[in-house]
Amino acid sequence: MERYPHLKQTDYEIYDLIRLQTLYESTTLKMIASESYVSFSVLEACGSILTNKYAEGNVGARYYEGNELVDKIETLAIDRAKQLFHAEHANVQPYSGSPANHAVYRALLKTGDKLMGMPVPSGGHLTHGWKVNFSGLDYVQIPYSPDPETGKFDMDQIRQTAKKERPKMIWVGATAYPHKIEYKDFAEIAEEINAYLVADIAHINALIIAGVHPDPVPYCDIVSSTSHKMLRGPRAGFLLSKVEDRFQSTYCPEHKLNLAQRIDRAVFPGLQGGPHLHIIAGMATAFHEAMMPEFKNYGVQIVKNAKKLAELLLAKGYRLAGGGTDTHLLILDFRNEQFTGKEAAKALAKSGIIANFNMVPGDPRSPFVTSGVRLGTQSLTAMGMNETDMEKVADWIHRVCRNITRIDEESPNIRQEIADFCSQFQIPGIYPYRPITRHVPIK
């Protein structure tokens, strides 16, 4: 069966680039910790006729006619999100994770207010108050970071900082923190200082669904997430929250709106116009798939694979930030090596292992080169890999890292071995229409 037959006829250049990207993704180990594979069902929903429809507004209150069926689609997405995460309220309109986080600020804070968040070099996200982002330009970040030696949060130090600075909001979430986050501990600190607690679970939502990571919903005022990454939905954001605001009389006495209403107003009309209905449909489909028993098995296996890979790499003499992992990601620590994280990431990619260079706690190198490489196991798990397969992955990583100075000689062999290995698996959204299994060099 020919894929994209109409695109092939009308715009062969784009068709061919998509075809080559499909080949690339089906013959490499996708280990970017923020990527995964969506199903054919999600792809179909996102490519549907819903891309034609404008539905500015919210369910039951649109500014355009003809949205009776669209309302049902968005309602399904909302109800499924609430059911999946046991939340009181959900908004599925944010275009992605950063706009969702922007809406949190607009709903909770005023310009110039203090917030606590992890700086990007410590493993936080741009929108958690980093200085070059709107969140650091419009608000005042009070930073907290993992301990440089242990790689874990020092809750006593975080409490001391919070009590001294008294921010109005605490972000808890990360892009490069390999350990479990105890939301209950952060909630106790937030309660002490009368601060909102907001969790960003974009990286770990599937682990929460699977019950292998603590659940933030009972402890947080708002939970922000994306539907891509390990949830395996389209590129979009969503927000979960309580309905009532426990600080409304303290911070917002003039407001007649509850917390859920303020979030909805912050998204629309505060930050966005018409929602992307084709993406919301894809999100609803991803939520539905995440309710299936096999999805929980997938979440459990992600952690098993990450722990096994960490164990194998430690046995080969590698250092890992934080000493290992409790989640889907691990960070190779090359502070004691002559080569940088960027050089290692490029060598891995040349060999068919797609990862990203990343800072480690206490990194002495520039963020433009770093001393670390971040690896994730969710995409490999989505392909059907288990702990036994991690032995091959660890061996390939080792072969690359010990041959960085002669990687041009070594990488073609590893690249072909990986391509052959990937052909054994049924890759979501690619199989069974994968036209070839041999790799295609990127020119």
Of 289, 182, 204, which is closest to residue 33 (Cα–Cα)?
Answer: 204
Q: Is 139 a catalytic residue?
A: no
CB 396 within 8 A of CB 353: yes
β-strand partners of 357: 373
Match 């909630």 to its residue by tokens.
187
Rounded Cα–Cα distance for residues 78 and 275 (Å): 13
Q: Is 163 a catalytic residue?
A: no
CB 301 within 8 A of CB 381: yes
At 224, give phi and psi (nearest 5°): -105, 145
- Angle subtended at Cα 219 by Cα 217 and Cα 223, rounded to the nearest 5 degrees: 40
CB-based burial label for 81 (10 Å; 0-12, 13-18, 19+): buried
User: What letter would DSSP give residue 225?
Assistant: E
Q: Which of 4, 24, 54, 95 is catalytic?
A: 54
Q: Is 56 a catalytic residue?
A: yes
Rounded Cα–Cα distance for residues 378 and 405 (Å): 30
Q: Which of 27, 28, 175, 226 is catalytic?
A: 226
Q: Is 159 a catalytic residue?
A: no
Q: Which of 229, 232, 308, 350 is catalytic?
A: 229
Rounded Cα–Cα distance for residues 195 and 363 (Å): 31
**Tokens standing for residue 417:** 């071995």
User: What letter would DSSP give residue 3?
Assistant: S
List the alpha helices (DSSP H) in 169-274. Answer: 183-193, 205-209, 248-251, 259-265
Q: Which of 25, 35, 74, 200 is catalytic?
A: 200
* C-alpha torsion angle, residues 109, 110, 111, 113 (rounded to 10): -60
Q: Is 226 a catalytic residue?
A: yes
Q: Is 54 a catalytic residue?
A: yes
CB 398 within 8 A of CB 390: no
Report the catalytic residues.
Answer: 54, 56, 200, 226, 229, 235
